[in-house]
Amino acid sequence: MHRLVKDVHDYPEPGVVFKDITPLLADHDGFHASILALADAGRDASGEVVVDKVLGMEARGFILGAPVALNLETGFVPVRKAGKLPRALLAQAYSLEYGEATLEMHADAVSPGDRVLLVDDVLATGGTMAATCRLVEAAGGVVVGAAVLMELGSLSGRDSLGDVPCTSLAVI
């Protein structure tokens, strides 16, 4: 996987090293293996699916989360940046490694008691994941796990998830 992820320095602003996953997405074998590995986070030790929904955060979490949901035979919920969803919604402000943002999801996207797997490309400071956890909890759902392609270990984002188990395919 490492050979298929390219570093882009000073993007989207100076000092940030952006992890470009588009070469991974373009490689059938790498993409397929990544989706299968991420989906494993939604199964128990016997292989049974233990989630009702997969949530993917804008935007690369959509690309990864939707096929993970198909693999697990569950529904997929997009978690969007502010102002992108048309119906009643829940919102959560958060900090990320290079600014502030707000995430939203439809208020009825997660039902009380739904078991949810969060999927994204990178776990950095953990702000996006933690905000999404709060959205799920506000809807009455339960986050049973998170899965990411890569984790930037030096930023300690995992700490922001509390007791939520996090599967990372690579720690950088």
Active site positions, annotated: 60, 97
> What 3-state DSSP class applies to 34?
helix
CB 90 within 8 A of CB 138: yes
Q: How far apart are CA 151 and CA 91, in angstroms?
A: 25
Q: How far apart are CA 16 and CA 121, in angstroms?
A: 16
CA atoms within a 13 Å half-sphere pointing along the CA-CB vector of 154:
2
119 closest CA partner among 47, 69, 156: 69
